[in-house]
């Protein structure tokens, strides 16, 4: 498979895999909940394992931040 170019949180990133789960293992926060938006649509966590990325996808990983 050829490499993909995506936009992750505003930065262009080159990937070897088109699997969303592979990206999240490397990039998602490990210590707090997060949401994933791809091309303006929230992806349910139940879809992470089967979701395939494509060239030029715009991905936002949004971490929850506590406060008061």
Structure confidence by residue, pLDDT tens digits, 5-41 = 999 999 999 999 999 999 999 999 999 999 999 999 9
- Residue 16 in any domain: the answer is yes
Any idea what the CATH number is for the domain that residue 46 is in? 3.10.20.30
pTM of structure:
0.88
Using pLDDT thresholds of 50, 70 and 90, give the confidence band for residue 61.
Answer: very high
Provide the domain count of the chain. Answer: 1
- Residue 68 in any domain: the answer is no
- Residue 41 in any domain: the answer is yes
Domain hosting residue 44, numbered range: 4-63
With b meaning 16 or more CB within 10 Å and e meaning fewer, what string describes 21-40? eebbeeebeeeeebebebee
């Amino acid at each position: 498979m050829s490499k993909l170019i995506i936009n992750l949180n505003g930065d262009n990133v080159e990937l070897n895999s088109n699997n969303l789960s592979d990206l999240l293992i490397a990039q998602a926060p490990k210590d707090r909940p997060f949401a994933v938006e791809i091309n303006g649509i929230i992806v349910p966590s139940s879809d992470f394992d089967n979701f395939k990325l494509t060239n030029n996808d715009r991905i936002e990983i949004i971490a929850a931040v506590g406060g008061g």
